[in-house]
Structure 1
Amino acid sequence: MTKILVIEDETSIRENILELLKAEGYNALAAENGQIGLQLATEQLPDLIISDARMPKLDGYGVLTALRSNAVTATIPFIFLTAKAAKTDLRQGMELGADDYLAKPFTRGELLRAIATRLEKQAAVNRQSQQQLNNLRTNITLTLPHELHTPLNGILCGSQLLIDEANDLEPQEILEIAGDIRTSAERLSKLVQNFLLYAQLELIGTDPEQIEALRQNSRTDSAKNAIIDAATQKAKQAGREMDLVLDLQDASVSISQKKLQKIVEELVDNACKFSSPRSKIRVASKYENSTFVLFITDYGKGMTVEQIAMMGAYMRFERKLSSQQGPGLGLLIAKHLIELHGGELEVDSIPQEKTIVRVALPIAN
C-alpha cells in the first residue's frame, strides 16, 4: 500500500487530507509540525510527502532541505502546500528540490491528480533504475566469463609450458613465453578494472546525489596537455605513434584529468584496433558554442548504423568475423563518463572508410 506522509499544522486541513487519502486506499500518516514530520519521514520512509510551507518550529523548507541532504530520503517526492501563490515562495521551494505545489484552497481533484502524477513519475524513475541494474547484471553474467577466460587461458597455458619444458627451453624462448604471459596478465588486469569501473558508473548514474558529487570540484585546467599525454601513450602502446596527428586547442574543462585521460585512452585504443597501421588517427579539439569539443577520427573498418544504435549495451561487434576485441565496454565507459559530467558523445561512421567520435564537455567556470 502506498504510504503518504502529511505535514500540516492546521488541524482541520490535516484531518481532511488524511480522511481523503484513506478513502482513496492510501496508507496515510500525519504530523502536526515540521520536526515531527521530519522524524516520521526518516523512520517510515513514505512514498510521498505533502507538507505545508509555513509552519512553526520547522517549516516546510527546512523539512525539504533536511530530506534532500539525506541519501535515504533524498528522492522521496515532495509536494508543497502553500497559502501564497507568490513566485518567490514557489521558486524557493523548487530550488530546494520540491516536485510540485498546491495553493490553498485546493480541490479534492487537484490534490489527487498531483499525487498520482508524482507517484507515476517516481515509479518511472524506479523502473528505469531497476532496468539499468538488470542490464548491468545481465551484461556481467553473459560477458564477464568469456572476456576473462581468453587472457586467463594465455596465462595458464604459458605458465604450464614453462613448468613442463623448463629443462629443454632456450633462454630466449623462456623470455618470449614470459612476455606472452605478461601481456595476457596486463589484458586481464585492464578487463577487471574496466568491469569494476563500468559497474561503478552504472550505479552512480541511478543516484542524483552521486552524480552531483562526481561533478563537484572536477576540473582539468589544461585539457590539451592531458589529451596529448593520454593519446600519445596509447598510440605508443599500439605501435602507432607515427600515425597519430594532433590538432588541439586548449581549455579548462569540467572533468578531472584522470577521467578525461581515461576517455581519451579508450577512444584512441578503439581507433588503433579498428584501423590499419600507417593510416592516420586524428585527435583534434576546438571551442563550439561555449563547449569544448574533441574529435577522434580513424580511417578503418568503421561501424554500421545498427552497431552505433546498439552502443548502449555492452557487446562486441562482429565477434565471429573479427579477431579484434570489439569497441563495446571501452566505448561505453567513455560514454558514461562523458554523460555523467554533463557532456555528450556522438559517433558518425562510414563502414570501411572512417569513424569520427565527437565528445562535447562543459567548459569549467
Structure 2
Amino acid sequence: MSRILVIEDELSVRENILARLEAEGFDTIDAENGLKGYQMALAHKPDLIICDVMMPEMDGYGVLTMVRQNPLTASTPFIFLTAKADKLDVRQGMEMGADDYISKPFTRTELLGAIAARLQKQAFVAQQSEKKLAELRRSITDALPQELLLPLSEVLAFSKVLVESYDTIKPQELLETAQNLHNSSQRLQRMIENFIMYAQIELLATNPEELQALRSCQTLNPSDIIFAIAIQKAKQYQREADLILQVANSNVKIAKRDLKKAIEEIIDNAFKFSEAGTSVHVKAATEKDGFKISITNYGRAMSNEQIASIGGYMQFERKFYEQQGLGLGLILAKRITELHGGKLFIESGGTELKTTVSVLLQR
C-alpha cells in the first residue's frame, strides 16, 4: 500500500483529496502548511507528496527545495497542486524538481491518473536498481573467485619455492622469490580491499543519514595528497621521468581517505595502461564549477561504448589484453566522487590514443 502525503492549507480541499485517496486504498497523511508538511515528509517517508503552492509558514516551492535537498526525501515523487498554473509557474516547479502539476479544480480521474503515473515511474526506477544489484551480485560470483585465486596461487607457488629450497637457494634467487611473493601478496591485498570498499560504497549509497554526513566532509590542501600519490605511483612503475605534475590548491568537499583512494586508482590506471616513455600528466586547478583534477595518459584508448558501460567488476577487451585485478579502479573513483556530490568524466580516443580521466569536486 502506497503512502501519500497531502500538504494543503484549505481544509475542504485537503479533506476531499484524502477521502478520494483513502477510497482507492492509499495510506494517507496530511499537513495544513508547508513547514509541517516537510516535517511530516521526514518523519513518515511517504511514497509520493501532493503539495499546494500557496501556503502559510512555507510555500510549495520552499517545501520542494527542502525535500530535494534532503537525502531522505530527495527521490520522492512530488506533485504540485495549484490554482495558479501558467507556463512560467509550471516551468519553475519542474526546474526545481517537481514531477507533475495538477490544476484546481481537478477531477478524480486527473488526480488518480497523475498519482498512478508517478508511482509507476518510481516502481520502474526501483526495478532497474534491483536489476543492477542483481547484475552486480552475478558479476561478483563470476569474477571474484578467479581474480583472487590468481595472486593467491602465486603466493603459494613462491612460498613453496622458499620452503622446498631453503637450504640450497642462492641469496639473489632468495631475494627475487621474496620480492615476487611480496608483490603477489600486495596485489591480493589490494583486490580484497577494493572489493570490501566497493561493497561498503554501495551500502552507504542506500543510507541517507550516512550519505548526508559524508557530504559534510572536507579536505584541506588536496595538492599534498595528489603530489604524494603521483610520485609514489611513478616510482612503483619505475617511470619517474614520465610524470608531469601541474597541481594548484583549493579546499574540496570530500573525505581525505576517499580523495586519496580515488586519485590513487586513476593514476594507477594511467601508468598501468600506458607504455614506459609516454607521459602521464596530472593536473589540478580551480574552475568556476569546482576543483578539477585531470589525469592523462597516452596508452590504450577506450571506446564510447566502453566509457558508457563502466561498472563494477567489468574489464574491457580482456581476451585481447592481459589485465590483473577486479577492474574496480575507475568505478571506485566514480562512485566515491558521486557520493561526495562530484562528477567523473572520461575522454578517450583520437589519433594520439589519449585518455583523460577528470574528477570535478565541490569547493
TM-score range, shorter chain: 0.7 to 0.9
Q: Distance in 2 between matches of 1:53 and 1:68?
A: 16
Give 1:192 deviation, angstroms.
0.9
The residue number in structure 1 matching 2:143 is: 143
The residue number in structure 2 matching 1:273 is: 272
Q: Distance in 2 between matches of 1:309 and 1:82?
A: 40
Give the aligned residue type for 1:275: S
Give the aligned residue type for 1:298: N
Give 1:274 deviation, angstroms.
1.6
From the superposition, tell whether residues 49 and 300 of structure 1 become closer, same or farther in structure 2 (CA, over 3 Å): closer
Give 1:315 deviation, angstroms.
2.0
Is contact 1:220-1:256 (8 Å) kept?
no
**Residue aligned with 1:311, SS:** coil
For structure 1, list consecutive stretches of 5 or more residues without a partner in the other structure: none
From the superposition, tell whether residues 363 and 180 of structure 1 become closer, same or farther in structure 2 (CA, over 3 Å): same
> Does residue 348 of structure 2 align to residue 348 of structure 1?
yes
The residue number in structure 2 matching 1:190 is: 190
Q: Distance in 2 between matches of 1:327 and 1:144?
A: 7
For residues 194-233 of structure 1, the aligned pairs below 5 Å read: 194-206=194-206, 210-221=210-221, 223-233=222-232
Q: Distance in 1 between matches of 2:335 and 2:30?
A: 42
From the superposition, tell whether residues 288 and 358 of structure 1 become closer, same or farther in structure 2 (CA, over 3 Å): farther
Give 1:207 deviation, angstroms.
5.2
Give 1:242 deviation, angstroms.
1.9
Greater Cα offset, 73-82 or 254-263: 73-82
Is contact 1:274-1:302 (8 Å) kept?
no
From the superposition, tell whether residues 78 and 287 of structure 1 become closer, same or farther in structure 2 (CA, over 3 Å): closer
Is contact 2:77-2:99 (8 Å) kept?
yes
Cα-to-partner distance string for 1:144-179 (whole Å, 9 max, x where unaligned): 112111111111222233333333334443343232
RMSD: 4.4
Q: Distance in 2 between matches of 1:292 and 1:123?
A: 36
Q: Distance in 2 between matches of 1:282 and 1:203?
A: 33
**TM-score (norm: length of structure 1):** 0.76
The residue number in structure 1 matching 2:126 is: 126
Q: Distance in 1 between matches of 2:43 and 2:280?
A: 57
Give 1:117 deviation, angstroms.
3.5
> Percent identity among equivalent residues?
47
The residue number in structure 1 matching 2:254 is: 255
Is contact 1:136-1:199 (8 Å) kept?
no
From the superposition, tell whether residues 173 and 121 of structure 1 become closer, same or farther in structure 2 (CA, over 3 Å): same
Q: Distance in 1 between matches of 2:260 and 2:41?
A: 42
Is contact 1:303-1:355 (8 Å) kept?
no
The residue number in structure 1 matching 2:291 is: 292
Give the aligned residue type for 1:284: K
From the superposition, tell whether residues 137 and 105 of structure 1 become closer, same or farther in structure 2 (CA, over 3 Å): same
From the superposition, tell whether residues 198 and 265 of structure 1 become closer, same or farther in structure 2 (CA, over 3 Å): same
Give 1:187 deviation, angstroms.
0.7
**Residue aligned with 2:309, SS:** helix
Cα-to-partner distance string for 1:255-311 (whole Å, 9 max, x where unaligned): 233322322211221121122222221212334444333332222233344433332
